[in-house]
């Protein structure tokens, strides 16, 4: 099965992860449960939205085509179907968008 993965010659995974690790904690505090777009070097959050569709629309509006998308799930949560499983294994509904 072939995966549909977009690759960019400008994306260096090691640099992206190193940089993202510096900014991710602040981002999760500011925009929990949001879809975000990161620059290819992981230094800048380019946009955010409660929905993936909204993020795509914003990136199209900005005219930016090369970015890495992410969904900011707060630490201690695991996304599993329509529910989020907290560290205590309690089922918690995802916040309405």
The per-residue pLDDT for range 60-97, each reduced to its tens digit, is 999 999 899 998 887 776 655 444 444 444 444 445 55
- What's the pTM? 0.68
On whether the CB atoms of residues 26 and 33 are closer than 8 A, the answer is no
Q: Where are the domains of the chain?
A: 13-93
Distances in Å between the Cα of 23 and the Cα atoms of 35, 49, 71, 83, 89 are 15, 17, 14, 27, 28
Task: Determine how many CB atoms are found less than 10 A away from the CB of residue 16.
Answer: 17
The per-residue pLDDT for range 36-70, each reduced to its tens digit, is 999 989 899 999 999 999 999 999 999 999 899 99
Distances in Å between the Cα of 82 and the Cα atoms of 18, 50, 78, 96 are 31, 16, 11, 11
Best CA proximity match to 48, nearest among 57, 61, 35 = 35
């Amino acid at each position: 099965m072939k995966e549909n993965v977009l690759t960019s010659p400008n994306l260096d995974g090691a640099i992206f992860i190193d940089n993202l690790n510096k900014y991710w904690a602040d981002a999760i505090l500011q925009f929990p449960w949001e879809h975000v777009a990161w620059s290819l070097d992981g230094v800048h959050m380019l946009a955010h939205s409660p929905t993936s569709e909204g993020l795509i629309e914003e990136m199209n509006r900005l005219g930016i085509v090369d970015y890495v998308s992410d969904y900011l799930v707060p630490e201690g949560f695991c996304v599993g179907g329509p529910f989020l499983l907290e560290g205590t294994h309690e089922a918690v509904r995802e916040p309405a968008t």
